[in-house]
């Protein structure tokens, strides 16, 4: 049956009545609203779209200022749901202009006959949930109300312009324009003195074209932004060939990518590349003129690490200075207040070169803020600028503005969405809100939306929502609502994702910082579109995890819980390991497992540079033991940390925790000496423990020869290495030295029993399994020996031991014995700090530069070691984040960073 007939036969709309009855009401006839209408109709839902404008297009209807274009290549910024539509439409340019994009939406609306179900020039004035009827009632500005079972906001993220917050705007006697509400009729700027306030994407796109028309243009810039040349023209042949070569696969790759455009994941890290190589990569990206490319393809750490980002930002700053002739103007145009990409960079055509024109003036508002707007122009602290026209390119109340500020939304129990979101938006998946049944948002706060190719995100959101409505109808459910538990879990996951990227380090519309008084927090989902898609799929396949479903003739269904409890990068690592379908490590045998580990480690990112790495040997009890020494770049002598690697007393060597040792050496400014103690089964208990002790004594005695500070050393270790570190402290106390000033125990093995709950809770699925631990213990130690404190330090005497930091991971079989050791140390009067790393697994902390969310834990470890050594604290920008063991809201993170 054709769509039109399906809609007509199922429509309950009351023509001529005062209330239109539909299954679904959608607000907004933009990118999302049009696709929603198409899919809902096809699925047999009666649907009305309510649109304030008098035609389709949404954002692209309103943003028709000079130079308005998309900044994702148009071959990617298109609908992909219908291959015939894809072949029926040809884009004329790499980045289409606003008029062409608007024509595209008109073409789509006509092709699927969408306009007949869109009520144009209709603004919703209130939306109220009627619990008894399980329907939303919408009142509108043009009389007729709408009653709908489901209410879907397809209102866009950047559609509510924010007021300019400048005194005197109403006093200005000249012409005033807002880029976000540009008139439909021609705006004549020739021969006029024009002011543009704002240098975000809208300002940067329009300034060069306004400059060409105006007699004089004065740009008022508060914060400079990074802009990159678009090099517009025909779509690049290589991308077109890729798309046309296998359209379905290209689109599928986009859906599972991080940003919604199919580029591969970069693996090279900045410190592996020479200056020349980095410059070459930047030049190549600069020539490509592609925002997603330059944001993702230079080096792997560019978007997640402050140092890796600074290398790229510096190169871009050079480009600005190369283009802008006047050094003072160039300096004013050069951003220094945020990492590249943390604020939305812009794609431009001739933006920087425009400032070389004699008829263009830049006013740096950081030096002379605007005092007021007067009848004749703009007054700063220092000067008055008389102008004929003011263009406000001052941005939007992004992400929440169009949902919250436009009309009151009243949910279950009379709760208002504005009240519920007073401290920042709370959502589940960015699609739903607890307390607001049957309300959906497309690209709402908490979804990847604006941090991705919107086309890909919109299609995913729409498909997910419509598929859920179909499934509910089939099961007889009539109401769906997110639970508070699921929503709180999503907030935690959002906060975890926010620590992964650098968005938290900039004051932007992503964080609400552009609107005075708005709650601060990274609003879009920063975990990437592919991971987000898999999470949404998991929610559905997990019995609609985190939703309560009800209906008149069916039993309530509520599979409550949090969809992601792992840290986002841990989730990726574990999914990758699961996809590899590896046999249990113990099935390889000791040597096979060692070979596997060596291969696994060879594939990890190269460790960061330190001052010097020296391999040597030291005398052990039965012959030499290898060690690897990491020396900081700073002048010595440095305090020394003796480090013991992990691997269940069976695997690993002095190099196997190389990235961790490098990272800690850099963070602490201390020498790390990683000891190659002997392994089981060739050397069973107590060899590893005795080697650890002997090595520590030798290192302490030869501290000066190693370039270290004579005096007490510290010990540190991970897993079985932490067991050796803990044992070494006990032996040093009992055997008359060496002096140890502190112990850092990361996921330590402390006891030989397997009956603590974490052994069963985390028995499988987190790489270190219970059965692998059984195997390690069997190879290392006979059951009779296991209660010896040199194997199970928890069973030893703990009084008089050095101060300690014990770090445990939530999803680790060893979690509880680590906690038990910290508690026992404290009970014995040893100063101890215990940190539980939420969402982490046993290997998280040694997977430096892979599991990036451990950074705050590593900062705390470094701080503890510095404290043990009597050194002052040393924190750097970018180190802020969620402390293990506590949860910060996304709002706290941005506030701390800001």
Binding site for ligand NAP (CB under 6 A): 69-71, 158, 164-166, 179, 197-203, 205, 222-223, 344, 347, 365, 370, 393-396, 450, 509, 514
- Helical residues (DSSP H) of 128-187, grouped into ranges: none
Q: Which is nearer to ligand NAP, 69 or 679 (CB)?
A: 69
Q: Could you give the CA distance from residue 67 to residue 348 in angstroms, rounded to a whole number?
A: 9
How is 43-81 classified by DSSP, letter by letter?
TT--EEEE-SSSSS-THHHH---TT-B-SS-TTTSS--S
For residue 177, the surrounding DSSP H or E stretch is strand 175-178
At its nearest, how many Å lie between ligand NAP and the CB of residue 129? 31
- How far is residue 548 from each of residues 432, 470, 477, 484, 704, measured CA to CA in Å? 12, 16, 10, 10, 66
Q: Which is nearer to ligand NAP, 395 or 721 (CB)?
A: 395
38: which 2 tokens?
A: 């198409």
At its nearest, how many Å lie between ligand NAP and the CB of residue 130? 36
At its nearest, how many Å lie between ligand NAP and the CB of residue 870? 43
At its nearest, how many Å lie between ligand NAP and the CB of residue 299? 24
Q: Could you give the CA distance from residue 703 to residue 740 in angstroms, rounded to a whole number?
A: 13
Interaxial angle between packed helices 568-580 and 484-500, expressed in degrees from 0 to 180 and rounded to the nearest 10: 90
* Phi-psi label, residue 429: left if phi above 0, alpha if psi -120 to 50, beta otherwise: left
At its nearest, how many Å lie between ligand NAP and the CB of residue 56? 18
At its nearest, how many Å lie between ligand NAP and the CB of residue 344? 3
Q: Which is nearer to ligand NAP, 105 or 271 (CB)?
A: 105
207: which 2 tokens?
A: 């300034």
Bridge partners of 557, per DSSP, are: 549
At its nearest, how many Å lie between ligand NAP and the CB of residue 230? 9
Q: Which is nearer to ligand NAP, 344 or 679 (CB)?
A: 344
Q: Which is nearer to ligand NAP, 67 or 411 (CB)?
A: 67
Closest alpha carbon to 822 in 762, 891, 880, 746 = 746
Q: Which is nearer to ligand NAP, 164 or 692 (CB)?
A: 164
How is 486-513 classified by DSSP, letter by letter?
HHHHHHHHHHHHHHHSSGGGS-STTTTT
Vertex 354, ends 350 and 355: CA angle to 5°? 140
Q: Which is nearer to ligand NAP, 224 or 632 (CB)?
A: 224
Q: Could you give the CA distance from residue 779 to residue 649 in angstroms, rounded to a whole number?
A: 8
778: which 2 tokens?
A: 């069997």
20: which 2 tokens?
A: 């239109």
Contact 818, 804 (CB under 8 A): no
Q: Which is nearer to ligand NAP, 365 or 819 (CB)?
A: 365
At its nearest, how many Å lie between ligand NAP and the CB of residue 890? 19
Q: How far apart are the first and last CA of the chain?
A: 56
Structural Rg of the chain based on CA atoms? 31
Say how many C-beta atoms besides its own lie within 10 A of residue 321's C-beta. Answer: 14
At its nearest, how many Å lie between ligand NAP and the CB of residue 98? 9
Lookup result for tokens 């060692």: 594
Q: Which is nearer to ligand NAP, 385 or 718 (CB)?
A: 385
Q: Which is nearer to ligand NAP, 201 or 350 (CB)?
A: 201
Q: Which is nearer to ligand NAP, 222 or 867 (CB)?
A: 222
At its nearest, how many Å lie between ligand NAP and the CB of residue 651? 48
Q: Which is nearer to ligand NAP, 140 or 364 (CB)?
A: 364
Q: What is the number of the residue whose Cβ is closest to ligand NAP?
A: 200
At its nearest, how many Å lie between ligand NAP and the CB of residue 45? 31
Mode of pairing for the β-strands spanning 439-441 and 640-644: unpaired
* Phi-psi label, residue 91: left if phi above 0, alpha if psi -120 to 50, beta otherwise: beta
Closest alpha carbon to 377 in 367, 389, 364 = 389
At its nearest, how many Å lie between ligand NAP and the CB of residue 91? 14
Mode of pairing for the β-strands spanning 832-841 and 135-140: unpaired
Bridge partners of 550, per DSSP, are: 479
For residue 554, the surrounding DSSP H or E stretch is strand 554-558
Q: Could you give the CA distance from residue 55 to residue 823 in angstroms, rounded to a whole number?
A: 67
Closest alpha carbon to 854 in 807, 894, 892, 793 = 807
Q: Which is nearer to ligand NAP, 101 or 610 (CB)?
A: 101
Closest alpha carbon to 351 in 456, 210, 460, 477 = 210
Q: Which is nearer to ligand NAP, 302 or 514 (CB)?
A: 514
Torsion over CA of 859, 863, 864 and 866, rounded to 10 degrees? Answer: 140
At its nearest, how many Å lie between ligand NAP and the CB of residue 180? 6
Q: Which is nearer to ligand NAP, 77 or 759 (CB)?
A: 77
At its nearest, how many Å lie between ligand NAP and the CB of residue 219? 10
At its nearest, how many Å lie between ligand NAP and the CB of residue 188? 22
At its nearest, how many Å lie between ligand NAP and the CB of residue 94? 12
Q: Could you give the CA distance from residue 336 to residue 314 in angstroms, rounded to a whole number?
A: 9
Torsion over CA of 453, 455, 459 and 465, rounded to 10 degrees? Answer: 70
Spatial strand order of the sheet with 554-558 comes to: 479-482, 547-551, 554-558
Q: Which is nearer to ligand NAP, 67 or 857 (CB)?
A: 67
- Helical residues (DSSP H) of 520-588, grouped into ranges: 529-541, 568-580
Contact 462, 32 (CB under 8 A): yes
């Amino acid at each position: 049956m054709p769509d039109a007939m399906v809609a007509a036969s199922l429509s309950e709309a009351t023509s001529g009545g005062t209330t239109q009855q539909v299954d679904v009401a959608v607000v907004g006839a933009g990118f999302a609203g049009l696709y929603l209408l198409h899919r809902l109709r096809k699925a047999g839902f009666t649907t009305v779209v309510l649109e304030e404008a008098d035609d389709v297009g949404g954002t692209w209807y309103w943003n028709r200022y000079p130079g308005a274009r998309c900044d994702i290549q148009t071959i990617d910024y298109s609908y992909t749901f219908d291959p015939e539509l894809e072949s029926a439409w040809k884009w004329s340019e790499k980045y289409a202009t606003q008029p062409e994009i608007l024509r595209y939406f008109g073409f789509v609306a006509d092709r699927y006959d969408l306009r007949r179900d869109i009520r144009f020039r209709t603004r919703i004035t209130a939306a109220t949930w009627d619990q008894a009827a399980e329907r939303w009632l919408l009142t509108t500005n043009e009389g007729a109300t709408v009653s709908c079972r489901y209410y879907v906001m397809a209102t866009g993220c950047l559609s509510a312009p924010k007021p300019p917050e400048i005194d005197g705007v109403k006093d200005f006697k000249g012409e005033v324009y807002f880029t976000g509400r540009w008139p439909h009729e021609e705006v004549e700027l020739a021969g006029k003195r024009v002011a543009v306030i704002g240098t975000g994407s809208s300002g940067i796109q329009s300034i060069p074209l306004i400059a060409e028309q105006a007699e004089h243009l004065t740009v008022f810039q508060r914060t400079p932004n990074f802009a990159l040349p678009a090099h517009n023209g025909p779509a690049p042949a290589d991308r077109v060939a890729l798309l046309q070569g296998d359209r379905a696969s290209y689109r599928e790759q986009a859906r599972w990518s991080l940003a919604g455009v199919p580029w591969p994941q970069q693996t090279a890290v900045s410190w592996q590349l020479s200056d020349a190589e980095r410059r070459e990569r930047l030049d190549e990206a600069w020539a490509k003129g592609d925002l997603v490319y330059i944001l993702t393809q230079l080096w792997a750490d560019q978007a997640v690490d402050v140092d890796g980002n600074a290398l790229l930002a510096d190169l871009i700053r050079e480009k600005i200075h190369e283009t802008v002739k006047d050094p003072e103007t160039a300096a004013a145009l050069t951003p220094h207040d945020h990492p590249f990409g943390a604020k939305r960079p812009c794609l431009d055509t001739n933006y920087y070169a425009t400032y070389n024109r004699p008829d263009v003036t830049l006013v740096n508002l950081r030096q002379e803020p605007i005092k007021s707007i007067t009848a004749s122009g703009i007054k700063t602290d220092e000067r008055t600028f008389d102008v004929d026209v003011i263009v406000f390119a001052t941005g939007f109340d992004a992400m929440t503005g169009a949902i919250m500020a436009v009309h009151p939304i009243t949910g279950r129990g009379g709760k208002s969405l504005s009240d519920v979101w007073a401290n920042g938006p709370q959502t589940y998946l960015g699609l739903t809100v607890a307390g607001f049944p049957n309300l959906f948002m497309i690209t709402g706060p908490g979804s990847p939306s604006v941090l991705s190719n919107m086309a890909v995100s919109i299609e995913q959101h729409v498909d997910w929502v419509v598929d859920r409505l179909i499934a509910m109808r089939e099961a007889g459910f009539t109401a769906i609502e997110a639970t508070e538990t699921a929503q709180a879990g999503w907030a935690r996951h959002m906060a975890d994702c926010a620590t992964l990227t650098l968005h938290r380090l900039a004051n932007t519309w992503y964080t609400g910082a552009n609107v005075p008084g708005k709650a601060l927090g990274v609003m879009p989902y920063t975990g990437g579109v592919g991971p987000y898609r898999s999470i949404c799929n998991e929610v559905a396949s997990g019995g609609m995890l985190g939703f309560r479903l009800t209906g008149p003739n069916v039993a309530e269904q509520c599979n409550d819980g949090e969809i992601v409890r792992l840290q986002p990068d841990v989730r990726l690592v574990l999914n990758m390991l699961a996809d590899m379908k590896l046999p249990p490590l113990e099935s390889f045998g000791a040597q096979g497992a060692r070979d596997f580990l060596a291969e696994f480690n060879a594939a990890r990112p190269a460790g960061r540079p330190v001052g010097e790495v020296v391999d040597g040997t030291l005398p052990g009890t039965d012959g030499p033991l290898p060690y690897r020494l990491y020396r900081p770049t700073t002048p010595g002598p440095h305090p020394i940390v003796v480090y013991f690697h992990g691997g269940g007393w069976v695997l690993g060597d002095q190099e196997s925790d190389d990235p961790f040792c490098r990272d800690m050496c850099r963070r602490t400014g201390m020498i790390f000496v990683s000891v190659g103690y002997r392994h089981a089964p060739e050397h069973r208990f107590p060899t590893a423990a005795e080697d650890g002790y002997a090595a520590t004594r030798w290192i302490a005695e030869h501290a000066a020869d190693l370039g270290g500070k004579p005096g007490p050393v510290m010990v540190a270790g991970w897993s079985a290495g932490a067991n050796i570190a803990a044992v070494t402290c006990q032996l040093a106390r009992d055997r008359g030295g060496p002096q140890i000033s502190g112990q850092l125990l990361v996921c330590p093995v402390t006891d030989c029993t397997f009956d603590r709950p974490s052994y069963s809770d985390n028995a499988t699925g987190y790489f270190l399994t219970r059965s692998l631990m059984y195997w390690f213990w069997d190879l290392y130690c006979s059951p009779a020996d296991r209660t010896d404190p040199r194997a199970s330090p928890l069973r030893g005497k703990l009084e008089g031991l050095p101060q300690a930091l014990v770090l445990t991971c939530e999803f680790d079989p060893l979690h509880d014995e680590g906690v038990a050791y910290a508690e026992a140390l404290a009970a014995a009067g040893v100063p101890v700090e215990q940190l539980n790393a939420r969402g982490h697994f046993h290997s998280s902390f040694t997977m430096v530069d892979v599991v990036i969310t451990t950074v705050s834990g590593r900062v705390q470890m470094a701080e503890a070691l510095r404290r043990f050594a009597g050194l002052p604290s040393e924190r750097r920008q970018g180190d802020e984040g969620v402390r293990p063991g506590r949860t910060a809201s996304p709002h706290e993170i941005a506030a701390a960073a800001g």
